[in-house]
Amino acid sequence: MIFINDFKSESEELRSAMVNATKRVIDSGWYVLGKELISFEEQWAKTCGVKHAIGVGNGMDAIEIALRSLGITQGDEVITTTMTAFATVLAIYRAGATPVLADIDPATALLSPESVERCISNKTKAVLLVHLYGQVRNMSSWVDLCNKRSIYLIEDCAQAHLAKYQGKFAGSFGQAGAYSFYPTKNLGALGDAGMLLTNDKFIEEKSRCLRNYGQSKRYHHPELGLNSRLDEMQASILMERIKWLEGFTQRRKEIAHAYQVGINHPLINMLKEPETSDSHVYHLFVITCTEREAFMSHMKAQEIQTLIHYPIVIHQQEPCRAAKQDPQGLAYSEQHAATCVSLPCHPQMSDKEIETVINTVNSF
Ligand SMILES: Cc1ncc(COP(=O)(O)O)c(C=O)c1O
C-alpha cells in the first residue's frame, strides 16, 4: 500500500537519533519548560527569520494565544477561509472572537482577497491567513490590504514549514505566525506541539504568560491563561527532526514536480503551480476531480491511499451553520470541498512508488 504518510519507513538513523534525544531528556530529570524547549524555540525563530518563538501545546493553541496576545476578544471579528482545518476557526471561537468566513480563489484554494474585502466591517480586527497545503502566495498584497485597513495579519502556518515568499518565511509577514508540529505536518513531533512566531516583544511576553496559566512570575496570574506548553520530550524530538526538514521538503517538491509533469488525464485538474520553487512545500498534493468517488475507489483498488482535505467546509459544520460569511456566498469553497483529493506525497516515497501513483492516476 502507498500511504499518505508512512512514518514506519523512516530511516534507522532518524529513529535512533530520536531515541537518543528522549534518553537525553529522561537523564536530565527536567520535563517541562526547560533547555530543550529553549533550544528549539531559538532554532525555529532563527530558521524562520523572526525574533521570538514561543513553544505551545499545539497549532490551535498557537492561534488562540496569538489572537489573545493581540487583545482580540468578544465582539471582535476575525476573517478567515471556510476551506481549512476546523482548528483554525475553533481557535477564533476559543479566543472569544467572531469568525467571519470568506471564500477561496478556485485556482489555488487559498483565501480570496476580493471575498475578504466583502467581509470587512467596523468590527474586523484581523485576517487569519491559512497557507493551505503548504502554499505561500501574494504576501505583499495581504500585508498591504491589512495595513491599509488597519487590521492585524495573523498567519496559520500549520501546513507551510519552510515555505518562502520573496525570500521571507511563512509566519514572518504578519504580527504573528502560528505553527503546528502535529506528527503528520512537514515538521512533526511524536505527539502534539505548536509554536507562535512574532517580532513583537509585547506579543512575545504576553504569549509566554498565556501559555502558562496566565502567569507573569511564579504564582502571579494577571491573566486567565491556558495550560499549553511544548514539553521537553517533544522539543528534543523536534530538534532532531528539524535536521531532516530541508531534505524532506526537497523530496516533497520532487514528487510534486513528477506529478505535475506526469499526470495527464481529462478528468484530473491540478491547482495553479507556485510562482517560485520556494513558495510551496507540498504538505499536501491536491488535485480536483468531478468523479471523485470513482477516482478514489480506482486508486484504492491499486493499493494507493487518497484522502480529502477537506470534505466539509466550515460553514457546513454543525456549530458554524450560523457563522457570518461573505454576503456573496462561499460557492468556490463548496465546489472545492466536493471535488478535492490528496495524493500521497511524503518524503519516504520511492521513485517506483511515484511512478505507480502517476500511472494509476492516468489509467483512471
Ligand atoms: C491549517 C491548520 N490549522 C491549524 C491546525 C491545528 O494544529 P494542531 O492540530 O496542532 O492543533 C492544523 C492541523 O490540523 C491545520 O492543518
Measure the CA–CA gap between 266 and 98, rounded to whole angstroms.
Answer: 41
What per-residue confidence (pLDDT) applies to 11? Answer: 97
What per-residue confidence (pLDDT) applies to 308? Answer: 98
State which of 186, 218, 239 marks the end of a domain: 239
Measure the CA–CA gap between 284 and 301, rounded to whole angstroms.
Answer: 21
Give the domain CATH number at 331: 3.90.1150.10
- 65 with 129, same domain: the answer is yes
- 138 with 235, same domain: the answer is yes
Amino acid at the residue 155: E
- 22 with 121, same domain: the answer is yes
State which of 213, 239, 265 marks the end of a domain: 239
Question: In sequence order, what are the residues at sequence separation of 6 or more whose Cβ sits closer than 8 angstroms to the Cβ of residue 27?
Answer: none
- 199 with 116, same domain: the answer is yes
What per-residue confidence (pLDDT) applies to 264? Answer: 98
φ, ψ of residue 56 to 5 degrees: the values are -130, 180
Domain span holding position 256: 244-362
Measure the CA–CA gap between 285 and 293, rounded to whole angstroms.
Answer: 18
Residue 279 in contact with residue 135, Cβ under 8 Å? yes
293 within domain boundaries:
yes
Residue 123 in contact with residue 75, Cβ under 8 Å? yes
What per-residue confidence (pLDDT) applies to 15? Answer: 98
- The tens digit of pLDDT for each residue in 118-132 reads 999 999 999 999 999
DSSP state of 166: T
Q: What is the dihedral of CA 54, 203, 184, 163, to 10 degrees?
A: -110
Total tally of structural domains belonging to the chain: 2
2 within domain boundaries:
no
- 31 with 146, same domain: the answer is yes
State which of 206, 239, 272 marks the end of a domain: 239
Average pLDDT over residues 203-222: 97
- 228 with 263, same domain: the answer is no
Check pocket membership of 81 for ligand 1, CB cut-off 6 A. Answer: no
- 207 with 314, same domain: the answer is no
How long, in residues, is the chain?
364
Measure the CA–CA gap between 87 and 318, rounded to whole angstroms.
Answer: 14
- 172 with 200, same domain: the answer is yes
Residue 305 in contact with residue 4, Cβ under 8 Å? yes
Within the chain, how many helices (H) and strands (E) appear?
11, 15
- 60 with 198, same domain: the answer is yes
Check pocket membership of 187 for ligand 1, CB cut-off 6 A. Answer: no
Q: Give the mutation target among 182, 184, 342 for probing the ligand 1 site: most ligand atoms within 8 A of CB.
A: 182
- 64 with 144, same domain: the answer is yes
84 CA to middle of ligand 1, Å?
9
DSSP state of 26: H
Q: Cell numbers at residue 154, please?
A: 495573523
178 CA to middle of ligand 1, Å?
9
- The tens digit of pLDDT for each residue in 80-120 reads 999 999 999 999 999 999 999 999 999 999 999 999 999 99
